[in-house]
Amino acid sequence: MSASTNHAPLYNVSATSIPSLLHDKYSSWLYTFFLVLLSLLALEQAVYRYKKRHLPGDTWTIPVIGRFADSMHPTLEGYKKQWDSGALSAISVFNIFIVMASTNEYARKILNSPSYAEPCLVHSAKQVLRPDNWVFLTGKSHIDYRKGLNLLFTRKALGIYIAIQDTIARKHFRMWLDEAAKDPVTPKPIMMTARAMNMDTSLRVFCGPHISETAARDINEKYWFITQSLELVNFPLALPGTKIYKAIQARKVAMHWLELAAHKSKIAMANGSEPECMLDEWVQLLSDPSYKGKREFSDLEMAMVLFSFLFASQDAMSSGLIYGFQHLADHPDVLAKVREEQERVRQGDYEKPMTLEMLEQMPYLQAVVKESMRVKPPVTMVPYRATKAFPITNSYTVPANSMVIPSFYNSLHDPAVYPEPDAFKPERWLDPEGLATQNPKNYLVFGSGPHRCIGLEYASMNIAMVLATASVMFDWEHDITSQSNQVEIIATLFPKDGCRLKLTPRVRN
């Protein structure tokens, strides 16, 4: 072959064909992308339907987000509709498969099955509380840790706490009356003022003189961010500006002050001071030769425990207290009986601080508190996570790593146990042979099982003491609005209008 022979190019690509090739390549990638996307969406639906099986619930889940829109603005009516759909029902939110349990039987089974399920609170809880907080312990380590903390709620300890609670309540009630006197005609919502009182009470009970007014105010002002982060489903990443990010920053502030308080308490007890708060009781307890639990707690560990108590009590006690005021205002006959009991026990000495012995002589008041929290339970449910496949019935097994949520509300409104379940009737607790007292398993206000609320006596005592003191210090009139009986769910239940009350000093004959 001669050297002049022309060779044809291997690829003959003209300038005009390049856009066509690029278009074909783009179309191919686009086709592949949509094919993969549709396959993933189909897989999502198949997995959801496989996990759901025969349970009531949406036949198909909204792609990716599921019921996220509903979880952003939860309503009690929406929860009731879900609970009414079946003893067990299913939903999905952001591919989190959730089984809702509505009956007392299944609620108690979840709460009392630590080998299958553990409390996971809400998705943001570990980020807010810190993953190394004791509340996330399980099994024997949780039991052992809890045994030591139980000693912070003995009768001796509660006797110290109630004196502090009484002092703080009276201080805040005087502030409430002073504020009401500026405009005695206009009712004002008590939601935030009651929350502030509860925060002040908790911090003084926990830390006593070891926390400054500045620190208490700082924690109180920022704690609302923590409350707002406790939605059942929240944006999962703690990016600046999100609710979880703000809650974490608020926790850091609280932890700083609580660590400092723990350090000061240790110094005070080492110097021979008498216990004045929970921290002091704890430090003194650890030095007791007969104490058999863990003896060494760093300032950080103590601060995390106190923060978990604050986390557990603030919103729940505020809800219980606010509805206590609302129920008494809406039932003047019940309030009159509370005052009659106060007169009998206090014998006209209304300045005398409340004691445990006095409180024990007030069965009607205790019935009022118990009934108020039954009608409007602060916590309607607590999310759990199935740590492994959980055979909750003979025909259904909750898949491992699913969320399983027991409802407390239905147990507390079971007409077979509480006739006229929505009616506020404290008397139902005074009959030892009555349905309410004969069915204690239905009273799930504080949960059940190994993770039952550790401070239930403390919380009930505080609400009772506050309502008792309020009943003798002032009168309150409820300004009933269109939203008074509507429920707003902000971690716990609150009246949607914030419970608008008109306060006046009580004039006794």
Got the DSSP string for 188-230? EE-HHHHHHHHHHHHHHHHHGGGS-HHHHHHHHHHHHHHHHT-
CB-neighbour burial class of residue 39 (10 A; exposed 0-12, middle 13-18, buried 19+): exposed
Spell out the domain ranges in the chain.
53-132+380-413, 134-376+445-508
Give tens-digit pLDDT for 285-320: 998 888 777 778 999 999 999 999 998 888 899 999
Lowest mean pLDDT among 135-149, 181-195, 325-339, 476-490: 135-149
Residue-wise over 393-413: b if at least 16 C-beta within 10 A, else e?
Answer: eeebbbbeebbbbbbbbbbbb
Q: Residue type at 206?
A: F
Provide the pLDDT for residue 61.
84
Binding site, annotated residues for heme: 453
Q: Sorting pLDDT into bands at 50, 70 and 90, what band is 12?
A: low
240 pLDDT more than 90: no
Residue from 371, 372, 342 nearest 469 by CA: 342
Give tens-digit pLDDT for 447-463: 999 989 999 999 999 99
Q: Which residue has the higher pLDDT, 135 or 12?
A: 135
148 pLDDT more than 90: no
Q: Sorting pLDDT into bands at 50, 70 and 90, what band is 1?
A: very low
Is residue 92 a contact partner of residue 46, using CB atoms and an 8 Å limit? no
Residue 213, token pair as written in the block:
């007014």
Is residue 223 a contact partner of residue 246, using CB atoms and an 8 Å limit? no
Residue from 78, 114, 183, 176 nearest 390 by CA: 114
Average pLDDT over residues 184-197: 94
Provide the pLDDT for residue 447.
94
Binding site, annotated residues: 453
Which CATH number is 134-376+445-508 given? 1.10.630.10
Q: Give the CA distances from residue 345 to residues 164, 348, 360, 434, 491, in Å, rounded to whole numbers and listed in that order.
A: 20, 8, 10, 26, 36
> What is the pairing mode between strands 96-101 and 500-505?
unpaired
Task: Give percent of the chain with pLDDT exceeding 90.
Answer: 67
Tell me how far apart the alpha carbons of residues 209 and 194 are, in angstroms, rounded to a whole number: 22
